[in-house]
Structure 1
C-alpha cells in the first residue's frame, strides 16, 4: 500500500492535492475549540498546505508521511530553514512549527506522540483499503489522549472497487470510530463532476480527561 502511494508521488499523480487550505478546515476548525498552543497530528499528510494553515494560526504540527517526495515538495513551498534528524525509525524534517516525520504511521508510538492534543484527517482514512481502516482507527485512538479533538474529511462515491481515494460511507465511519470517539456529523458537500461527495465530521476521544 505504501509503495503504491509513493509511486503516485514519483509519477506526479496527485490530483487529490489542493493548492489552498481545504474549505471545510476553514469553516469548521474553530468550532472544535482547540487551544492554539495544542500540537496537531496530521496522519498521511502528503504536502498538504492545510498544515501551513494550522501552523499559521498558532499550532505546532506533526505530519506523518511515507513518501519522502511529498515531504521535500512541502518544504520547498517556503524558503524557511529546515533542520533534519532521526527519531526511532523516522527521518524528521522541521520547518518552523511544522515537523514532518517520514515513515510508517503505524510505527508511530504513543511515546512519540506525547505532545499531541488534536488531529486532522483530510485524506488519510480514504487512502486506506478496507482491511486497513480498522487498524488505522484503533491506532489513532491509541495516539491521542482523552479529550483530544479532530476534524475528519471523508469521501463517498459509487465507483465500485475504485480507489484510492476509496469510498468510506457514513455507516462505516461510525462503526470504525464510535468505540473510542464521540462523533458529530457536520456537513455533506455537493457531488463533484465524478459523483464524489465529501462528508465532514468532528471527533473527540472518549475517556476521562487527565
Structure 2
C-alpha cells in the first residue's frame, strides 16, 4: 500500500488533491468548538490546502505524510521561511504555522503528540484498506487527548479504491469505542459515484 501511494505522487496521479479548501471543513470546523491556538493533527495530509486554511484560522497544524514529494510541493507552493530538522525518525519541515512530518503515521507516538488538541481527517481513513482501518482508528485515539475534537470526512462509492468506500456503520463501529460520534451531513452524489459524509468526533475519557 505504501509503495502504491508513493507511486501515485511520483507519477502525478493525485486526483484526490483539491485546489481550494474543502467546503465541509469551511462549513463545519467553526462549529466544533476547537479554540484558537489549538494544534490540529492532519494524518496522511498530502499537500492539502486545508492545512493552510486551518493555519489562517489561528490553528498550528501538524501534518503527517509518507510521501516526501507531497511535502516538498506543499512548501514550494507556500511562502515564508522554511525550517528543516529531524526528530524521532521523521524528517520535519516547518513553514509558518504548519509543520509537516515525513514518515509513517503508525510510527508517530504520543510523545510527539503532546500539544495536539484537535484533528482533521479528510483523506486518511478512506485511503486505507479495510484491514488497516481498525488499526488507524485505534492509533488516532491513542494520540488524541480526552475532550479533543475532530472533523472526519468519509466516502461511499462503488467497488475499488483507493479512495475506499467506508459506510456509516463502519465509521461508528471504528470510532464509537473511543469517541462521541455525530453525523453532520451526507453530501450529494458526485458524477463519479462518490458521496462524502461529514462527522464530528469528540475523544471520550476523563478531562484533566
5 Å matches for 1:29-44? 29-44=29-44
CA-atom RMSD, angstroms? 0.5
1:194 counterpart residue number: 192
- In structure 1, which of residues 192, 204, 207 is the aligned counterpart of residue 205 of structure 2? 207
Do the aligned partners of 2:79 and 2:95 also contact (CA within 8 Å) in 1? no
1:69 counterpart residue number: 69
CA distance in 2, matches of 1:131, 1:61: 28
Q: Scaled by the length of structure 1, what TM-score is found?
A: 0.98
CA distance in 2, matches of 1:39, 1:72: 22
Shift of 1:76: 1.0
Q: What SS does structure 2 have at the residue aligned with 1:37?
A: coil
Provide, for residues 31-83 of structure 1, a one-character-per-residue CA deviation record: whole Å limited to 9, x for no partner. 10100110000000000000000000110000000000000010011231110
Q: What SS does structure 2 have at the residue aligned with 1:30?
A: helix
- In structure 2, which of residues 172, 176, 179 is the aligned counterpart of residue 178 of structure 1? 176
2:163 counterpart residue number: 165
5 Å matches for 1:110-125? 110-125=110-125
CA distance in 1, matches of 2:6, 2:46: 10
5 Å matches for 1:97-108? 97-108=97-108
CA distance in 1, matches of 2:79, 2:55: 16
CA distance in 2, matches of 1:76, 1:126: 27
CA distance in 1, matches of 2:29, 2:43: 17
The 4+ residue runs of structure 1 with deviation greater than 6 A are none
CA distance in 2, matches of 1:82, 1:10: 23
Task: Establish whether residue 57 from structure 1 lines up as the match of residue 53 from structure 2.
Answer: no
Provide, for residues 111-157 of structure 1, a one-character-per-residue CA deviation record: whole Å limited to 9, x for no partner. 10000000000000000000000000000000010001000001001
Shift of 1:2: 1.4
Shift of 1:27: 0.3
Gaps of 5+ in 1: none
CA distance in 2, matches of 1:53, 1:2: 27
Gaps of 5+ in 2: none
